[in-house]
Structure 1
Amino acid sequence: MIQLPSATAVGRVLPKEAFYKHLTLSGDLKEKFVTDIKRITLSNSLTATTLHLEAGTEVAEILVLTVELKKQQFDGRIVENIARQNPHKLLFLLRFEDKAQLAVYHAKLYTTAWIPCDKILLQVKGLTLDEIWQGFLEQIALQDGLTEHRPGENIGTTLQRQEMILKLQKEIEKLEKRTQREVQPKKKFELYQQLQELNKRLEDTKNA
């Protein structure tokens, strides 16, 4: 499991009803709280005081919420709404039976793959809460082999580049299939040229 300093421990169960009252939710999402979620626990509170660090300029507190699920295929909008409508930075540990995944929200919800609970690993890296939160985003949101967070770069810029790379990869895959199916030489050549342009855009985006 995630190893955090004992001074950050809270361990307080949060009634699901509390979320109904403070979040703007559609009727079906309120129902999902009942059908998908078993229990929500405020596991840890990461602050400059509890971590003995300098205060950040943007992040004052990171809350770790452990969400025990009734089923693995849960509605991710639940977690997204909790994060989007909460003023704190939230790190989610989602658990179902003996498996777990981590999740964070930054313009959209990012999750890791489901793995055994005892294999979950998250490093606390940084000298301020800003740096620690950025480190969490890097470890959870960035996919291996797509792009890297560059020194001095805003993590939001890194994630935008990753989204563009993923979008271009999907377009290239789709166009490659069209090119392979095309039988008319002229049309096939046109598609090939489009494919070359997309591949160039992909390389330019990776190197931007």
Structure 2
Amino acid sequence: MFDLPKKTQIKRNIYKKLIYEKFPKELSGNKKEIFDKEIKKITLINEISEQSINIRPTDNVSAIFLVLIELKTKDFTNANISLVSRLFGQKILVVLKYEDEYRLSIYETKLLLGDWKKKDEISLILQGLDLSNVWENLVTQVAKIEIEEGNSLEEQISLEARKEKLIKLIEKTEKQARKESQAKKKFELYKQLKEYKKELEEM
């Protein structure tokens, strides 16, 4: 799948019971019911490791797993996908499937999501001198981010998150300013808007 080497392929069902036992607090109350309504089936489909691709592990990354989650609905809860991403205490790339569409997701400080695509539109490139490099490259492929010089992966993700937040704040503040009738409040909103835009430009 997704042009990964055949040697990485495995097929092992992950039963939802295991997730319920592993995360009882996170799936308390009606959260367990929501998880069951959203997720149909979970399968471990690939293992990227020294044995399967002959790239050395690191202290941080000993293996990378691909997990296929077949969804009952396209409107899933991010928290449920994050739980599956944390299941093994290993690096996991989650492949979401709904009908004939696929969406990649990966957890690195937060859940990062790719776009919905057809199966043949997705190609994963395993690139790096060690598994930590491979993982970083997979994160950037899924999230469509470029690590700027001098930034770590974590710093770049934080920067991208701030950019997203600023864009939303700018849109929200512009709408508020247009609707505001009081001159003083309108001035304050435009002042705040200027600060948001300045911060975004300086990133």
CA offset at residue 29 of structure 1?
Answer: 3.0
Q: Does 2:117 align with 1:115?
A: yes
Mapped to 1, the partners of 2:41 and 2:192 lie a distance apart of 50
Mapped to 2, the partners of 1:81 and 1:73 lie a distance apart of 16
Deviates more, 1:155-164 or 1:116-125: 116-125
**Which residue does 2:139 correspond to in 1?**
137
SS in 1 for 2:93: strand
What whole-Å deviation, never above 9, does each CA across 1:95-139 have from its counterpart, x for those lacking one? 111011001112221111212222122222212110111111111
CA contact (8 A) 2:85 2:94 kept: no
SS in 2 for 1:54: coil
Mapped to 1, the partners of 2:187 and 2:39 lie a distance apart of 53
**Which residue does 1:164 correspond to in 2?**
162
Q: Does 2:39 align with 1:37?
A: yes
SS in 1 for 2:135: helix
**Match runs of 1:75-94 below 5 Å:** 75-94=77-96
Percent same amino acid among aligned pairs?
35
Relative to structure 1, is the Cα distance of residues 136 and 177 closer, same or farther in structure 2, using a 3 angstrom cutoff?
A: same
CA contact (8 A) 1:23 1:82 kept: no
**Which residue does 1:18 correspond to in 2?**
18
What is the TM-score when the length of structure 1 is the normalising length?
A: 0.86
CA offset at residue 45 of structure 1?
Answer: 0.8
Mapped to 2, the partners of 1:14 and 1:135 lie a distance apart of 26
**Which residue does 1:59 correspond to in 2?**
61
Mapped to 1, the partners of 2:187 and 2:95 lie a distance apart of 49
Consecutive unaligned residues of structure 1, counting only runs of 5 or more, are none
**Which residue does 2:49 correspond to in 1?**
47
CA contact (8 A) 1:42 1:66 kept: yes
What is the TM-score when the length of structure 2 is the normalising length?
A: 0.88
Please provide the CA RMSD for this pair. Answer: 2.0
CA offset at residue 188 of structure 1?
Answer: 3.7
CA offset at residue 13 of structure 1?
Answer: 1.7
Mapped to 2, the partners of 1:88 and 1:50 lie a distance apart of 16
**Which residue does 2:153 correspond to in 1?**
155
Mapped to 1, the partners of 2:36 and 2:199 lie a distance apart of 45
**Which residue does 1:7 correspond to in 2?**
7
CA offset at residue 49 of structure 1?
Answer: 2.2
CA contact (8 A) 1:142 1:162 kept: no
| Equivalent residue letter for 1:195 | L
Mapped to 2, the partners of 1:85 and 1:7 lie a distance apart of 23
**Which residue does 1:193 correspond to in 2?**
191
Mapped to 1, the partners of 2:169 and 2:32 lie a distance apart of 36
CA offset at residue 186 of structure 1?
Answer: 5.1
Mapped to 1, the partners of 2:16 and 2:176 lie a distance apart of 49
Mapped to 2, the partners of 1:149 and 1:79 lie a distance apart of 25
SS in 2 for 1:130: helix
CA offset at residue 179 of structure 1?
Answer: 2.5
Consecutive unaligned residues of structure 2, counting only runs of 5 or more, are none
Relative to structure 1, is the Cα distance of residues 90 and 38 closer, same or farther in structure 2, using a 3 angstrom cutoff?
A: same
CA offset at residue 19 of structure 1?
Answer: 2.0
Paired residues in the alignment total: 201
